[in-house]
A and B are shown apart, each in its own frame.
Chain A
């Protein structure tokens, strides 16, 4: 099977053109991205085990305490340990966003493949619906969902997944339409292969890399959306807290520059910047196209 789709060949050729001039900055920022992403993925799994205090216990008499050996990231507005609370927040921030991203990309890619393979009438219907969904700004959609169904983890995952599915659909559909016209797919059709065989064995493997890049981008958007919802008090509900809720809870400590509000914000920023740097170094060209 031919693994050189048009998209990967253009990626390689553009990469060669600007390779020497950009090699340094790209590889260094890509490495930083890789380290940040790897770090947070490990923390999201083992983080809660490293927690020095129970995240919801009042362990200090000082509110908005400074960084110290006893409390690495200081204490929050109720005297809870922020380091433990940031660790406890990782499964919410990273886990929930990851679940939503997987759902969004799966739904997007599957509907994209169906639209590309199906008759024009089915394609038309799916494309119109996805276009309508994409024209509801994601935060607006999240507000409507939360106002109607309340805020819970399953609703948040569903909301983020629906809000970011259309973008994934667009990319998957246009990739699949391109791949479908290539010779080896035509040959497979003439051989009399079934549609599922063509989609899974011929088309899908050749869309893998751009879809993966898109997955990373979508993950960043979803982390930002869910943090923003928590920051507005409409995301993860107390006593549980993701990083967005931690920023919101401790916003009162902003005037004194308390680490309680700064550290969770840094956590979000390092995660999203890390993913973006990584994507930028491996696939920025395929996104531009």
Chain B
């Protein structure tokens, strides 16, 4: 690591923090734009002006919008996201009870999708233009253009209804042994992986092809290197940066995908928590979940950027 790399990385992190701040503005002001406030929601139609005012004062809703924004932002920064409007439980507690489940699902998906996508991407780059490459390409186009709920329903139709191997709902609390875990996670992971593998494989293929068309690979070919050695020894090490970038960017897709998948399989993660909050209009919980998702997304993009910077040998003097 030299100074240039370090400066670039610090620069990116700074930009990430700036972006997160603008996101917090967008999230807070959209959720506070309509006049109906939390006090009214809690007390209902029959509330008198006095009780409304009392509750507003207690909740801090009588303060001007920008003051409330800074209170909210300050709370978020120290990890205090307030309490849920629906059941009064601290939001942090709600999130902590669900976050490990979502992270576990994401970890499974990453473990399955990355090796598969790398393999498909590298092989289709090596045999570019072959029937394998062409049909993988068409398959990938289909996988990215079909909605997740369709893949999930087809998976349920085949594995739960017709074959009866798996349960249509994820009863995560029943999963004690490894075999039971596999059963619970099989369909959510399969659904998320199908889109993810397609995206990653396409980007990996492009990155490897980019290297294969360079002159040093031609040189290796002229020296008589075998195609496999040419790809694994010569092209791949130079394609690692773009591939890591592609993986991180694709994984950020997970943040949208889990919303549908968790809801279909009734998986007890952050996304179902957020969906319940949307249907009960639990604004503080929505804000906290939204910020958590955007934070996760920005971290993935940051990792993508940094892996691109670090792997660039021109910056490593």
Contact = CB atoms under 8 A, between A and B. Distances in A.
Decide whether A and B assemble into one complex: yes
Interface string B262-287: 01000000000011011101010010
A140 B290 contact: yes
Most-contacted residue by chain B among A128, A133, A135 (CB, 10 A): A135
Contact residues of A: prevailing secondary structure: helix
Interface string A135-178: 11111100111111100000000000000000000000000000
Contact of B301 (A129, A135, A233, A273): A135
B51 interface: no
Among A139, A220, A244, A255, the one with the most B-chain Cβ atoms within 10 Å of its Cβ is: A139
Nearest to B146: A269
A268 interface: yes
Contact of B263 (A18, A129, A232, A254): A232
A32 B134 CA distance: 15
Interface stretch (B28-36, B68-76, B101-109, B224-232): B28-36
Contact of B278 (A143, A220, A275): A143
Contacts of A145: 30
Contact of A140 (B156, B259, B263): B259
Nearest to B160: A255
Nearest to A145: B30
A147 B149 contact: no
Contacts of B260: 139, 228, 231-232
Contact of A18 (B129, B274, B283, B286): B129
Nearest to A143: B278
Contacts of B147: 224, 227-228, 231, 244, 268-269, 272
A105 B275 CA distance: 29
Contact of B145 (A22, A132, A147, A269): A269
A21 interface: yes
Contacts of B61: none
A232 B275 contact: yes
A148 B34 contact: yes
B256 interface: yes
Contacts of A38: none
Interface in B124-180: 129, 134, 137-138, 141-142, 144-150, 153, 156-157, 161
Given A128-B19, A144-B30, A148-B34, A138 B134 contact: no
A280 interface: yes
Nearest to A269: B146
Given A143-B259, A147-B281, A148-B34, A135 B297 contact: yes
Interface in A250-273: 251, 254-255, 257, 261, 265, 268-269, 272-273
Nearest to A21: B129
Interface in B23-47: 23, 26-27, 30-31, 33-34
Contacts of A224: 145, 147
Contacts of A268: 146-147, 150
B299 to A, nearest CB: 10
B298 interface: yes
Nearest to A149: B34
Contacts of A22: 129, 134
Nearest to B162: A257
B220 interface: no
Contact of B26 (A18, A133, A138, A139): A133
Contact of B256 (A137, A146, A227): A137
B292 to A, nearest CB: 10
A123 to B, nearest CB: 15
A194 interface: no
B138 A147 contact: no
B293 A137 contact: yes
A233 B274 CA distance: 14
A231 B149 contact: yes
A88 interface: no
17 contacts: A131-B15, A132-B26, A135-B298, A136-B26, A136-B290, A136-B293, A139-B256, A143-B259, A144-B27, A147-B31, A147-B278, A149-B34, A227-B149, A232-B260, A261-B153, A265-B153, A280-B141
